[in-house]
Amino acid sequence: MNFLYFSTLKFDEADGAHNPTQIARALARRGHSVLFVEPQPAAARDAEPSLEIVALTELGFTQTQLRRAWFGLETGELETVANNLLARFASWRAAEPRAAIYAAPFEPFARLLPFLRARDFLIAYYAMDDFAAAPALGYTQFAPAAEEYLARHAEVLCAVTPAAAQTLERFGNTARVIPNGVKLETFQTRENLPPAPLERGELTLGFWGTLIDAMFDAELVAQVARARPQWKIHLLGAPDPEPHRPSITAHLKNFPNIFFHGAIPHNDLARYAAACDVMLAPFPDNAFTRGRDPLKIYEYLAARKPVAASYAPQLADTPYVFVASAPNEFIGAIEQAARARVDERALAAFLEKQSWDARADTLREIIRGASPQARGDANILPTLAQPDARALARYTEMLERELEQTLVWARELEALAKKRGGLRRFLSSQVKRI
């Protein structure tokens, strides 16, 4: 088959551990032609032989359009992108069926659906999160109207959890559940290496992931740190990636038993897990949490560590994951996890069924069994954007910050030029050096 995979995550995000990258890789390993479309060019694009990666901005989508799409604003013409996509399809095997897989309701991607269906693409929406809950957390790039359009018009509808699938089914079509998976080799190949040199406590707790308030409950972790000062808590991941959100660092930096380690290469995570007694998943109490199938849970288990999680009832039946449904239960969940004795054989049997290859095979078979809809109108859809006042305010603030930074750079350049005998002479000298 020929697959077009639309992802709002770069191919190398989190070192390529995410669902879209791993499913695309698995499909390519099975000999399918895969064109992976990311928002902007990834720094690393090492891929399977039949997997091609291209950024939306490399297809003619401007940086201004991309920024507007990320803030939920209208993005304008897509004909250039569509025509450049057509050129990429030219190398595909003509006799093979085509399918477009959408990982998220990103407005510019969704608008291309009729254009693709008119060119014999079957449409699959495989939601990697419960995106109906995302706008409430400030994720403006996921347009509700785009999700409704995808859910109503895709031949294949899938989601990573029953809760997310149920959300999609409110539009009238049946959604299948295909959970996330794990790349076991990442953790198995690190088993014989020494643990990372972490400061240890009576209990040593670890977390990895993005430290952002929508996905990390800082106050819950603070309660643990206050109540159990003899425990050591190690946080791995980029802190506060979005400056407009409440700061995780500011909330936790004064605790002597909490340690920030910054972003760690994905291949090194197993060494850090080996130095911990329990891994944490301190999720916030919100609908987005309850619709997620967190990748880190599979990774923690692949590192052979028990897990304490919060507000995630969908994880209750996962082996060695202890779920708290209230703040005062989280310490108890950690203590339960610390007492657990992991049955290596049973856990290995569970993990073998969670491979990305298995997930890709399931998705492929569902797509193969689907019946394509009639072609219909081939025009690119008009805008699906429905920006609210908050999105517009954030967009304006971003532009103001960029303008302020540009003015700072201009003043620095002007001061440097004065030292070098004037702006014209300084610029002339720089051109000669080039």
pLDDT tens-digit map of 284-295:
999 999 999 999
State the DSSP code for 267.
G
CA–CA dist 69, 10 (Å, integer): 15
Instruction: Identify whether the C-beta of residue 279 lies closer than 8 Å to the C-beta of residue 206.
Output: yes
pLDDT tens-digit map of 349-381:
999 999 999 999 999 999 999 988 877 777 899
Mean pLDDT of all residues in 254-271 = 95
Strands 2-6 and 321-324, by their bridges, are: unpaired
Instruction: Identify whether the C-beta of residue 106 lies closer than 8 Å to the C-beta of residue 8.
Output: yes
Q: Do domains 2-181+357-368 and 186-352 have the same CATH topology?
A: yes
pLDDT tens-digit map of 45-67:
988 889 999 999 999 999 999 99
Question: Phi, psi (5° rounding) for residue 174?
Answer: -80, 135
| 426 pLDDT above the threshold of 60 | no
In three-state secondary structure terms, 259 is strand
Per domain, the residue ranges of the chain are 2-181+357-368, 186-352, 392-433
- Decide which of 173 and 394 is more confident: 173
Mean pLDDT computed over every residue of the chain = 91
Mean pLDDT of all residues in 268-277 = 94
Mean pLDDT of all residues in 77-81 = 96
Q: How many CB atoms lie within 10 A of CB 127?
A: 28
Q: Which two tokens stand for residue 319?
A: 């082996």
Got the DSSP string for 6-64?
E-SS-TTGGGGTSHHHHHHHHHHHTT-EEEEEESS--S-----TTEEEEEGGGGT--HH
| 127 pLDDT above the threshold of 80 | yes
| 423 pLDDT above the threshold of 70 | no
pLDDT value of position 415: 77
Question: Phi, psi (5° rounding) for residue 413?
Answer: -65, -40
H helix count then E strand count, the chain: 18, 13
In this prediction, residue 178 has a pLDDT band, given cuts at 50, 70 and 90, of: very high
H or E element in which residue 248 lies: helix 248-252
pLDDT tens-digit map of 179-203:
999 999 888 866 678 899 999 999 9
In this prediction, residue 254 has a pLDDT band, given cuts at 50, 70 and 90, of: very high
Residues 6+ apart with CB under 8 A from 49: 28
Instruction: Identify whether the C-beta of residue 4 lies closer than 8 Å to the C-beta of residue 116.
Output: yes
Q: How many CB atoms lie within 10 A of CB 392?
A: 14
pLDDT value of position 431: 58
pLDDT value of position 413: 72
SS3 sequence, 92-149?
CCCCCCEEEEECCCEHHHHCCHHHHHCCCEEEEEEECCCHHHCHHHCCCCECHHHHHH
- From the list 183, 178, 165, the residue with the least C-alpha distance to 290 is 165
Instruction: Bin 412: left if φ > 0, else alpha if -120 < ψ < 50, else beta.
Output: alpha
Question: Phi, psi (5° rounding) for residue 55?
Answer: -90, 150
- Kindly report the pTM of this predicted structure: 0.89
- From the list 301, 376, 369, 364, the residue with the least C-alpha distance to 3 is 364
CATH superfamily to which 2-181+357-368 belongs = Glycogen Phosphorylase B; (3.40.50.2000)
Residue with tokens 């149920």: 166
| 165 pLDDT above the threshold of 90 | yes
State the DSSP code for 182.
B
State the DSSP code for 155.
S
In this prediction, residue 345 has a pLDDT band, given cuts at 50, 70 and 90, of: very high
| 425 pLDDT above the threshold of 70 | no
Fold designation for 186-352: Rossmann fold (3.40.50)
pLDDT value of position 375: 74
pLDDT tens-digit map of 387-410:
777 777 776 776 777 777 777 777
